[in-house]
């Protein structure tokens, strides 16, 4: 408690060996108050930023799914997932690279309605970006775009010069190419 | 008809009672076999204290003098008995005072259940008097926690709390109970928890891992065992002994593994780590197979990971999958409860002797003995040493006492020189390094093992962090033996300042009170030793006392603890001076 910690040459050497990259962590858990705090604390303790977070129901009744995106090394991802899995209410956690998942994000753009008529280019952007008009009113219209992060970023860049009244982007949602046998794991836990 | 009968039988079996939540909490504790709890009352937990009053013939509550003391006492009790320790506090400051004990129990895997009162549900989030978000605060330092806001939740959550605290890799659990849930009534029926569907406390070893481990061990020329607290928590002492004796492999321990194996066993080669023994540290980097059992490769054990046992194949027996490859990459992981896995691997192991290899340890021990140990425990210089005090306690206790230590130089000396025949005899704050742990933990240890001598070894710094717990010792006449090794310094920090900060002794010199008078103020028998010639007799007097006893030994002010691996250095760089 009162001891000084001098670091001579000890660093987290494993981290240097491996490259950072994007990982999608999928956590299947019980739906309990406080679990989000417990999971986010695991990242906080290691000073790792969560780039995106989504919580929803999963394919199993009563089981929640966290989808967390981080930009770290494989080594750290593996350790974090180990710590997450250790939590009592977590059934199973997985991590995958972008190649191993099908993933999407969604974004909403709120834009002044007059621009739709004053700026012809906006109609082209809507067409080319494959986005949808969700609503139109006298004052504003709302565009919804689902896709990869870079597609949303490109659309944002294209619209920005005309003025965006509001913008929001969701966390990543992802499904894996490989199977995730949650039902069997739950079954196994029950039997033990 | 059949089902009706079955239903009737079922309802008879589960007899319900209409009682308050507060009373239900007491029945839950009794059903879990709890007969002793530590705590401190206050507004938000008063209904429970009112029930404690009614149930005092069946459930003893010990009033600590600070909530932190209650947690450490519960830890001491848990560590000496292997059962779940229980601490209780009110909301707000009562709850926040538990945090250090929770963190200590979390990092040292101690089974503990803490119960806190909370403001009534309708006041949650209103910044009510003594409201604090203890569930939020305690999340990172608990194995599990939960806030009960409805009385019906009490039996199920309490059962779950005890199950989670003691199963698998044990740890602390906090249950926060709003005051309305304590007052409201429920139809009480208690069922012990035996499973939680999302929680797998004991993993199974991977197929083939035992065979792979056995092959590595059987073919090793210079195998080396390092065991930790996992052996004690898994009650696998006999299995460890059988393993060591059959294979003839030298075995060393981490600080929390101490006492899992007789310290005088010929194959027990001592402690690893920053202030561990010379041989085990040096030879870590010469062994060809390192067998880690129920330990977690803490940085105080490994030093610089880049130069830790790189030449060795590593086998890791471990209950917590998250510990595998966390700090040290292993070649074979044997997941599971050490009692099971050590038993299962035994038939696969060849009988062996490693005489030449063991002789390496003996040689290194001789060097350490000649340069260090001899002068520590049989000093000829003027000032008293911490080591000679521990040695005198060894002699007087015949290696049978429980030793509780605080944190700092005295802790390292106590763990280096204490002798034990029996497991669960060494109680210290390992992972968190909590100064102030010793005195309250000794109270809990004594109350958990009334048939054994309990000696607390404490420094003058840590002693003053929880000195108020002398009140508990006095009030309940808890016959612990308290030894303060007083060097009028925060000795370990001073040692680091001497070695690494050019002797700039920033805030490490202590002007201490008269500790003997303080003990006398609590009517505890006490004595001060300043001369070597009085030491032996004073220790004998202390050990012979049927009552609590306080012994202050004025030791050399500027002694250092060696061997030492400087922080971040390699185990090969262990220094003898």
Q: B527 in a domain, yes or no? A: yes
Strand partners, B466: none
Residue B453 host element (H or E): none
pLDDT tens profile B442-456: 999 999 999 999 999
Pair (A26, A80) in one structural domain: yes
Q: A10 in a domain, yes or no? A: no
What is the domain-level CATH number for residue B437?
3.40.50.970
Pair (B452, B536) in one structural domain: yes
Q: A190 in a domain, yes or no? A: no
pLDDT tens profile B96-105: 999 999 999 9
Pair (A97, A107) in one structural domain: no
Which residue, among A47, A58, A88, would best test binding to B if mutated, counting the most B CBs under 10 Å from its CB? Answer: A88
Q: Is B67 a catalytic residue?
A: yes
Q: By residue range, what is the domain housing residue B307?
A: 209-358
Cross-chain CB nearest to A6 (options B135, B321, B567): B567
Pair (A107, A87) in one structural domain: no
Q: Which one of B143, B179, B313, B419 is the catalytic residue? A: B179
Asked if the C-beta of A137 comes within 8 angstroms of chain B's C-beta atoms, the answer is: no
Cross-chain CB nearest to B198 (options A38, A83, A90): A90
Contact call for residues B535 and B553 (beta carbons, < 8 A): yes
Pair (A88, A157) in one structural domain: no
Q: Is B311 a catalytic residue?
A: no
Between residues 453 and 492 of chain B, which touch chain A (CB distance below 8 Å)? 461, 490, 492
Asked if the C-beta of B567 comes within 8 angstroms of chain A's C-beta atoms, the answer is: yes
Pair (B259, B392) in one structural domain: no
CA distance A155 to B239: 65
CB atoms A192 and B195 under 8 Å: yes
pLDDT tens profile B337-367: 999 999 999 999 999 999 999 999 999 999 9
pLDDT at A15 over 90: no
Q: What ipTM does the predicted assembly reach?
A: 0.92
Asked if the C-beta of B125 comes within 8 angstroms of chain A's C-beta atoms, the answer is: no
Q: A6 in a domain, yes or no? A: no
* Residue of chain A nearest B492, judged by CA positions: A3
CA distance B228 to B240: 11
Residue A55 to chain B, least CA–CA distance (Å)? 18
Q: B5 in a domain, yes or no? A: no
Spell out the SS3 assignment of B221-286: CCEEEEECHHHHHCCCHHHHHHHHHHHCCCEEECCCCCCCCCCCCCCEEEECCCCCCHHHHHHHCC
Q: Which one of B261, B386, B403, B492 is the catalytic residue? A: B492
Instruction: State mean pLDDT over B51-67.
Output: 98
Q: Which one of B46, B55, B130, B474 is the catalytic residue? A: B130
Instruction: State mean pLDDT over A65-91.
Output: 97
Pair (B347, B248) in one structural domain: yes
Q: B69 in a domain, yes or no? A: yes
Contact call for residues A186 and B197 (beta carbons, < 8 A): yes
Q: Is B464 a catalytic residue?
A: no
User: What is the domain count for chain A?
Assistant: 2
CA distance A182 to B101: 36
Q: A39 in a domain, yes or no? A: yes
Q: What are phi and psi for residue B122, nearest 5 degrees?
A: -70, -15
Pair (A90, A28) in one structural domain: yes
User: What is the domain count for chain B?
Assistant: 3
Pair (B433, B292) in one structural domain: no
Asked if the C-beta of B568 comes within 8 angstroms of chain A's C-beta atoms, the answer is: yes
Q: A80 in a domain, yes or no? A: yes
Residue B404 to chain A, least CA–CA distance (Å)? 17
Q: B8 in a domain, yes or no? A: no
Residue A83 to chain B, least CA–CA distance (Å)? 6
B496 contacts in A (CB within 8 Å)? 3-4, 6
- Taking Cα atoms as reference points, which of A55, A65, A60 lies closest to residue A93? A65
The structure tokens listed for B27 are 């029945």
pLDDT above 70 coverage of chain B, percent: 98
CB atoms B147 and A33 under 8 Å: yes
Q: A160 in a domain, yes or no? A: yes
* Residue of chain B nearest A3, judged by CA positions: B493
pLDDT at A7 over 80: no
- pTM score, whole prediction: 0.94
B135 contacts in A (CB within 8 Å)? 34
Residue A79 to chain B, least CA–CA distance (Å)? 6
Contact call for residues B186 and B24 (beta carbons, < 8 A): yes
What is the domain-level CATH number for residue A140?
3.30.70.1150
Spell out the SS3 assignment of chain A: CCCCCCCCCCCCHHHHHCCEEEEEEEEEEECCCCHHHHHHHHHHHCCCCCCEEEEEECCCCCEEEEEEEEEEEHHHHHHHHHHHHHCCCEEEEEEEEHHHEEEEEEEEEEEECHHHHHCHHHHHHHHHHCCEEEEECCCEEEEEEEECHHHHHHHHHHHHHHCCCEEEECCCEEEECCCCCHHHHHHHHHHC
Q: A189 in a domain, yes or no? A: no
Contact call for residues A111 and A164 (beta carbons, < 8 A): yes
CA distance B373 to A14: 37
pLDDT above 70 coverage of chain A, percent: 91
Cross-chain CB nearest to A82 (options B321, B407, B432): B321
Residue A14 has a pLDDT of: 45
Pair (A21, A96) in one structural domain: yes
| Confidence tier at A6 by pLDDT (50, 70, 90) | very low
Asked if the C-beta of A8 comes within 8 angstroms of chain B's C-beta atoms, the answer is: yes
Pair (A93, A140) in one structural domain: no
pLDDT at B131 over 50: yes
Pair (B243, B342) in one structural domain: yes
Instruction: State mean pLDDT over B459-473.
Output: 98
pLDDT at A190 over 90: no
CB atoms A88 and B304 under 8 Å: no
Residue A5 has a pLDDT of: 41
Q: How many CB pairs under 8 A join A and B?
A: 96
**Cis bond leading into A25, ω under 30°?**
no
Between residues 141 and 170 of chain B, which touch chain A (CB distance below 8 Å)? 143-147, 164
Pair (B314, B353) in one structural domain: yes
Between residues 286 and 305 of chain B, which touch chain A (CB distance below 8 Å)? 299, 303-305
pLDDT tens profile B237-262: 999 999 999 999 999 999 999 999 99
Cross-chain CB nearest to B200 (options A4, A34, A192): A192
Q: B117 in a domain, yes or no? A: yes
Pair (A108, A96) in one structural domain: no
pLDDT at A49 over 90: yes
What is the domain-level CATH number for residue A71?
3.30.70.260
Q: A8 in a domain, yes or no? A: no
Residue A4 has a pLDDT of: 42
Residue A186 has a pLDDT of: 81
Pair (A56, A21) in one structural domain: yes
Cross-chain CB nearest to B568 (options A9, A44, A88): A9
Pair (B160, B47) in one structural domain: yes
Mean pLDDT of chain B: 96
B407 contacts in A (CB within 8 Å)? 1
* Residue of chain B nearest A64, judged by CA positions: B198
Between residues 9 and 68 of chain A, which touch chain B (CB distance below 8 Å)? 9-10, 13, 29-30, 33-34, 37-38, 41, 44-45
Instruction: State mean pLDDT over A59-80.
Output: 95
Instruction: State mean pLDDT over A142-167.
Output: 96
A9 contacts in B (CB within 8 Å)? 304, 568
pLDDT at B5 over 80: no
Contact call for residues A114 and A165 (beta carbons, < 8 A): no
Q: Is B182 a catalytic residue?
A: no
Pair (B551, B450) in one structural domain: yes
Pair (B347, B461) in one structural domain: no
Q: By residue range, what is the domain housing residue A129?
A: 103-169
Q: B576 in a domain, yes or no? A: no
Which residue, among B100, B298, B322, would best test binding to A if mutated, counting the most A CBs under 10 Å from its CB? Answer: B322
B324 contacts in A (CB within 8 Å)? 82
Pair (B34, B117) in one structural domain: yes
Residue A12 has a pLDDT of: 44
Q: Is B364 a catalytic residue?
A: no
CB atoms B566 and A8 under 8 Å: yes
Q: B532 in a domain, yes or no? A: yes
Q: Which one of B23, B32, B51, B67 is the catalytic residue? A: B67
Asked if the C-beta of B319 comes within 8 angstroms of chain A's C-beta atoms, the answer is: no
Pair (A112, A81) in one structural domain: no
Q: B544 in a domain, yes or no? A: yes
pLDDT tens profile B399-449: 999 999 999 999 999 999 999 999 999 999 999 999 999 999 999 999 999
Pair (A110, A54) in one structural domain: no
Pair (B179, B234) in one structural domain: no
Pair (A96, A123) in one structural domain: no
CA distances to B222, B251, B292, B345, B350 from B219, in Å? 9, 17, 17, 15, 9
Pair (B348, B382) in one structural domain: no
* Residue of chain A nearest B144, judged by CA positions: A88
User: Please, what's the b/e burial string for B526-558 (b: 16 or more CB within 10 A of its CB; e: otherwise)?
Assistant: bbbbeeeeebeebbeebbeeeebbbbbbbbeee
Residue with the two structure tokens 């129901």 = A57
| Confidence tier at A92 by pLDDT (50, 70, 90) | very high
């Amino acid at each position: 408690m009162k001891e000084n910690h001098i670091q001579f040459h000890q660093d987290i050497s494993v981290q240097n060996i491996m490259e950072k990259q994007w990982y999608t962590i999928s956590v299947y858990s019980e739906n309990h108050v406080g679990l989000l705090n417990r999971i986010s604390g695991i990242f906080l303790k290691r000073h790792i930023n969560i780039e995106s977070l989504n919580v929803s129901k999963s394919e199993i009744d009563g089981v929640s799914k966290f989808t967390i995106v981080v930009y770290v090394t494989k080594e750290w991802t593996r350790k974090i997932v180990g710590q997450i899995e250790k939590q009592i209410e977590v059934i199973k956690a997985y991590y995958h690279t972008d190649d191993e998942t099908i993933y999407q994000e969604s974004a909403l753009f709120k834009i002044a309605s007059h621009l739709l008529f004053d700026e012809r280019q906006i109609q082209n952007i809507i067409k080319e970006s494959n986005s949808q008009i969700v609503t139109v009113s006298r004052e504003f219209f709302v565009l919804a775009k689902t896709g990869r992060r870079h597609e949303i970023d490109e659309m944002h860049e294209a619209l920005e010069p005309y003025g965006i009244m509001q913008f929001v982007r969701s966390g990543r949602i992802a499904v894996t190419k490989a199977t995730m046998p949650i039902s069997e794991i739950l079954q196994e836990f029950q039997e033990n | 008809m059949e089902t009706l009968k079955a239903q009737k039988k079922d309802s008879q079996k589960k007899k319900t009672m209409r009682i308050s939540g507060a009373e239900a909490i007491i029945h839950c504790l009794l059903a879990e076999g709890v007969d002793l709890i530590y705590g401190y009352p206050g507004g938000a937990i008063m209904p429970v204290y009112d029930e404690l009053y009614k149930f005092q013939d069946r459930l003893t509550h010990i009033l600590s003098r600070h909530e932190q003391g209650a947690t450490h006492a519960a830890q001491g009790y848990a560590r000496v008995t292997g059962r779940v320790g229980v601490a209780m506090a009110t909301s707000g400051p009562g709850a926040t005072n538990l945090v250090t004990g929770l963190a200590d129990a979390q990092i040292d895997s101690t089974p503990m259940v803490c119960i806190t009162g909370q403001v009534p549900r309708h006041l949650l989030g209103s910044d009510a008097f003594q409201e604090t978000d203890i569930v939020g605060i305690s999340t990172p330092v608990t194995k599990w926690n939960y806030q009960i806001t409805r009385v019906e939740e009490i039996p199920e959550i309490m059962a779950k709390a005890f199950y989670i605290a003691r199963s698998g890799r044990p740890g602390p659990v906090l249950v926060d109970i709003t005051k309305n849930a304590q007052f409201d009534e429920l139809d009480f029926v208690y069922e012990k928890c035996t499973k939680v569907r999302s929680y797998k406390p004991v993993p199974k070893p991977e197929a083939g891992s035992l065979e792979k481990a056995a092959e590595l061990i059987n073919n090793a020329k210079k195998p080396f065992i390092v065991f930790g607290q996992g052996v004690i928590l898994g009650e696998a002492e006999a299995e460890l002994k059988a393993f060591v004796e059959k294979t003839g492999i030298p075995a060393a321990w981490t600080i929390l593994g101490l006492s899992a194996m007789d310290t005088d066993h010929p194959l027990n080669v001592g402690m690893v780590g920053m202030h561990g023994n010379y041989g085990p540290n040096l030879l870590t980097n010469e062994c060809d197979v390192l067998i880690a059992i129920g330990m977690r490769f803490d940085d105080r054990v490994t030093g610089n990971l880049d130069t830790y046992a790189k030449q060795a194949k590593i086998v890791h027996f471990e209950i917590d999958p998250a510990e595998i490859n966390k700090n040290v990459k292993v070649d074979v992981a044997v997941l599971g409860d050490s009692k099971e896995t050590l038993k299962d691997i035994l038939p696969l192991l060849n009988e062996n002797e490693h005489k030449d290899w063991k002789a390496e340890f003996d040689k290194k021990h001789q060097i350490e003995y000649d340069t260090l140990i001899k002068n520590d425990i049989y000093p000829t210089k003027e000032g008293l040493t911490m080591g000679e005090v521990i040695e005198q306690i060894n002699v007087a206790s015949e290696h049978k006492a429980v030793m509780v230590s605080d944190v700092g130089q005295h802790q390292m000396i106590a763990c280096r020189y204490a002798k034990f025949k029996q497991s669960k005899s060494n109680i210290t704050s390992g992972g968190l390094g909590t100064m102030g742990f010793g005195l309250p933990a000794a109270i809990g240890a004594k109350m958990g093992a009334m048939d054994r001598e309990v000696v607390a070894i404490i420094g003058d710094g840590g002693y003053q962090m929880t000195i108020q717990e002398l009140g508990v010792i006095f009030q309940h006449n808890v016959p612990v033996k308290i030894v303060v090794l007083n060097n009028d310094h925060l000795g370990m920090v001073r040692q680091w300042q001497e070695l690494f900060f050019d002797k700039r002794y920033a805030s490490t010199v202590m002007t201490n009170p008269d500790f003997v008078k303080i003990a006398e103020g609590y009517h505890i028998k006490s004595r001060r030793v300043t001369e070597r010639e009085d030491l032996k007799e004073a220790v004998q007097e202390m050990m012979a006392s049927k009552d609590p006893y306080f012994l202050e030994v004025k030791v050399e002010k500027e002694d250092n603890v060696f061997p030492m691996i400087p922080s971040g250095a390699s185990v090969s760089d262990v220094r003898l001076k």
